[in-house]
């Protein structure tokens, strides 16, 4: 995997909305393990909570987060996630119940509440189907407050059991509702199928990582998980085959002709753990979006050094628990160091000319047996040229080659000025304005940016006349420019 191809959401992370159209809500950092662009971002939204009920909402978030990270494989990959909650206050407390379900329980009242996302029970005329009617509002709250979201849970302030899946998982305060929500994330995030049978002839099945019509042992997609002695199809004898992976008949709404990997799994029955095949698929889905490492050094991957350079090559790997990540190093495609996060190169030992250094970072977890696209392995290659005619005192500047930071124009500034910089590769950028006392007065950019020339406007209407410093931090590069702001 190429490090520059990061999560596609990173492209949206720099959207800045103008004050007029922005709907900003309090965003709480519930769990932060790193930058948003190298982590999966779970977002909780409140629905049907008034301003004074946010304590209850945040309590529910905390208990839900504990539950998520007790569940395999979220437990092992907890460090890959950031969790945020966004306090979206509703005018009224609760949700709607129109009473239009075909399975309407006896003696429950109907009611409507004025809530932000307009949630309602009786979605699709099923009492427990708790839906959101204003999806547009969900999208704009996310876009304006946390555009890097990957998984969204909406907590509805009502005690009845209820929830729904789709792009966002919705669940109520009922103690069992969350388990349904994490099943729904199995669909939306890991593309898992339902492993239950449902009504005969009700719906057609579909192939998925955890559902198939294939019965020939060698062709079953999860056959690496099936022990040679397990009969196929596997009889539904729980005390004999309840804990093994096999081929159990009954899946994706069909009692016959469709098969699932395990007797029980969260995709079949709530409150059960995910089966091994669903766990594997969830990990593959994480690595489909994230590299196996957070960052590496040097940042530049094409470098020329003198014959007297000492360079540390460093990988900052992701950190599953227990740690199953291994980094191996190759010099000119020969293994030179195994299972270490850094490699030290002294150019004195090598001939002039081109050399390549490659770090291969692999998650060796036993929870994944099938990885056809090698999502669990990433590599970084540095092309090194050694040139003995080069002066050794140029070696340090080589490491920040390609970064440019120009004086803002115009300067002095009356109203607006343009700050220009160039990034040789995708970088984490922090562009900030400091006053003469060294205090940060404004942050213009904070996040991942693509390679290329960037022009950022700074409107000075929020600061008073005086001397200011513009500081650019981009990967290993750090520089300050002084500028003068004058009254309009």
Six token digits for residue 212: 């198939």
Q: C-beta of 192: minimal distance to Zn ion in Å?
A: 7
| 400: DSSP letter | T
> Which residues on neighbouring strands pair with residue 356, listed in sequence order?
383
Nearer to Zn ion by Cβ, of 263 and 458: the residue is: 263
Q: Between the CA of residue 446 and those of 10, 18, 423, what are the distances in Å?
A: 12, 17, 14
Nearer to Zn ion by Cβ, of 47 and 194: the residue is: 194
Of 25-33, 96-104, 210-218, 343-351, the segment contacting Zn ion by CB under 5 A is 210-218
Q: C-beta of 367: minimal distance to Zn ion in Å?
A: 13
Size of interface with Zn ion, in residues (CB under 5 A): 6
Q: Between the CA of residue 298 and those of 102, 197, 345, 428, what are the distances in Å?
A: 63, 53, 12, 14
Of 22-30, 90-98, 265-273, 360-368, the segment contacting Zn ion by CB under 5 A is 265-273
Q: Are 458 and 434 in contact (CB under 8 A)?
A: no
CA distance 19 to 12: 18
If one asks whether residue 275 binds Zn ion (CB under 5 A), the answer comes out as yes
Long-range (24+ apart) CB contacts under 8 A made by 451-456 are 451/4, 451/423, 451/424, 451/425, 451/426, 451/427, 452/422, 452/423, 453/420, 453/421, 453/422, 454/420, 454/421, 454/422, 454/423, 455/418, 455/419, 455/420, 456/418, 456/419, 456/420, 456/421, 456/431
Q: What are phi and psi of 145, to 5 degrees?
A: -115, -30
Nearer to Zn ion by Cβ, of 210 and 212: the residue is: 210
Nearer to Zn ion by Cβ, of 270 and 288: the residue is: 270
Q: Would the CA dihedral through 45, 48, 49, 51 be positive or negative? A: positive
Nearer to Zn ion by Cβ, of 169 and 265: the residue is: 265
Q: C-beta of 184: minimal distance to Zn ion in Å?
A: 6
If one asks whether residue 208 binds Zn ion (CB under 5 A), the answer comes out as no
Nearer to Zn ion by Cβ, of 4 and 213: the residue is: 213
The per-type count for the chain, helices as H runs and strands as E runs, is 6, 25
User: What secondary structure does DSSP assign to 78-124, as a single string?
Assistant: GGGEEEEEE----SSSS-BB----TTPPTTPPPB----SS-EESSGG
Q: C-beta of 193: minimal distance to Zn ion in Å?
A: 8
If one asks whether residue 280 binds Zn ion (CB under 5 A), the answer comes out as no
Binding mask 342-361 for Zn ion (x = CB under 5 A): --------------------
Q: C-beta of 89: minimal distance to Zn ion in Å?
A: 31
Q: Are 336 and 350 in contact (CB under 8 A)?
A: no
Half-sphere exposure of 302 toward its Cβ, with a 13 Å CA cutoff?
3
Among 278, 284, 384, 472, binds Zn ion (CB under 5 A): 278
Of 18-26, 268-276, 364-372, 419-427, the segment contacting Zn ion by CB under 5 A is 268-276
**Given the DSSP bridges, would you call strands 40-47 and 81-86 parallel, antiparallel or unpaired?**
parallel
Q: Taking CB under 5 A as the criterion, which residues in 361-420 touch Zn ion?
A: none
Residue nearest to Zn ion (CB): 265
Q: C-beta of 264: minimal distance to Zn ion in Å?
A: 9
Nearer to Zn ion by Cβ, of 58 and 210: the residue is: 210
Nearer to Zn ion by Cβ, of 48 and 73: the residue is: 73
Q: Return all residues near 425 (Cβ < 8 A) that are at least 6 apart.
A: 4, 299, 300, 301, 402, 451, 475
Among 265, 318, 359, 449, binds Zn ion (CB under 5 A): 265
Among 151, 267, 311, 318, binds Zn ion (CB under 5 A): 267
Nearer to Zn ion by Cβ, of 265 and 472: the residue is: 265
Among 210, 234, 281, 282, binds Zn ion (CB under 5 A): 210
**Given the DSSP bridges, would you call strands 416-423 and 452-459 parallel, antiparallel or unpaired?**
antiparallel
Q: C-beta of 22: minimal distance to Zn ion in Å?
A: 35
Q: C-beta of 262: minimal distance to Zn ion in Å?
A: 6
Q: Taking CB under 5 A as the criterion, which residues in 166-205 touch Zn ion?
A: 194
Q: C-beta of 74: minimal distance to Zn ion in Å?
A: 15
Q: C-beta of 371: minimal distance to Zn ion in Å?
A: 18
Helix, strand, or coil here: 435? strand
Residues that bind Zn ion (CB under 5 A): 194, 210, 265, 267, 275, 278
């Amino acid at each position: 995997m190429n490090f520059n191809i990061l999560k596609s959401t990173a492209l949206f992370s720099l959207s800045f909305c103008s004050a007029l159209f922005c709907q900003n809500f309090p965003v709480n950092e519930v769990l932060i393990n790193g930058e948003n662009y190298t982590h999966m971002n779970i977002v909780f939204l409140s629905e049907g909570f008034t301003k004074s009920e946010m304590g209850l909402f945040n309590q529910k978030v905390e208990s839900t987060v504990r539950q998520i990270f007790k569940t395999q494989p979220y437990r092992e990959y907890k460090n890959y996630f950031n969790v945020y909650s966004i306090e979206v206050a509703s005018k009224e407390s609760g949700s709607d119940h129109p009473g239009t379900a075909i399975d309407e329980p006896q003696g429950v009242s109907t009611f409507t509440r004025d809530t932000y996302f307009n949630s309602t029970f009786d979605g699709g005329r099923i009492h427990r189907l708790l839906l959101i009617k204003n999806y547009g509002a969900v999208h704009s709250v996310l876009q304006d407050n946390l555009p890097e979201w990957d998984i969204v849970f909406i907590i509805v302030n009502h005690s009845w059991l209820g929830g729904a899946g789709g792009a966002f998982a919705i669940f109520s305060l009922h103690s069992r509702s969350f388990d349904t929500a994490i099943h729904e994330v199995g669909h939306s995030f890991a593309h898992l199928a339902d492993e239950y049978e449902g009504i005969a002839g009700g719906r057609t099945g579909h192939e998925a990582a955890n559902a198939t019509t294939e019965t020939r042992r060698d062709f079953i997609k999860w056959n690496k998980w099936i022990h040679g002695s397990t009969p196929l199809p596997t009889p539904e004898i729980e005390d004999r085959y309840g804990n093994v992976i096999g081929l159990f008949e009954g899946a994706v709404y069909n009692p016959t002709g469709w098969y699932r990997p395990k007797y029980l799994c969260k995709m079949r029955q709530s409150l059960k753990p995910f089966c091994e095949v669903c766990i594997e698929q969830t990990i593959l889905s994480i690595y489909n979006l994230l590299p196996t490492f957070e960052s590496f050094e040097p940042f530049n991957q094409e470098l020329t050094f003198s014959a007297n350079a000492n360079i540390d090559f460093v990988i900052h790997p992701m950190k599953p628990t227990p740690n199953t990540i291994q980094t191996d190093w190759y010099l000119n495609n020969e293994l030179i160091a195994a299972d270490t996060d850094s490699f030290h190169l002294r150019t004195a030992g090598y001939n002039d000319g081109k050399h390549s250094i490659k770090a291969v970072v692999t998650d060796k977890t036993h929870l994944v047996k099938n990885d056809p696209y090698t999502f669990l392995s990433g590599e970084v290659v540095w092309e090194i040229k050694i040139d003995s005619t080069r002066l050794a005192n140029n070696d340090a500047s080589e490491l920040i080659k390609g970064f440019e930071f120009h004086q803002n124009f115009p300067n002095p500034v009356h109203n607006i000025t343009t700050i220009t910089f160039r990034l040789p590769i995708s970088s984490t950028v922090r562009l900030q304005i400091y006053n003469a006392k060294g205090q940060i007065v404004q942050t213009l950019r904070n996040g991942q940016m693509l390679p290329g020339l960037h022009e950022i406007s700074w409107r000075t209407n929020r600061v008073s006349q005086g001397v200011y410093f513009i500081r650019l931090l981009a990967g290993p590069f750090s520089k300050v420019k002084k500028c003068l702001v004058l009254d309009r």
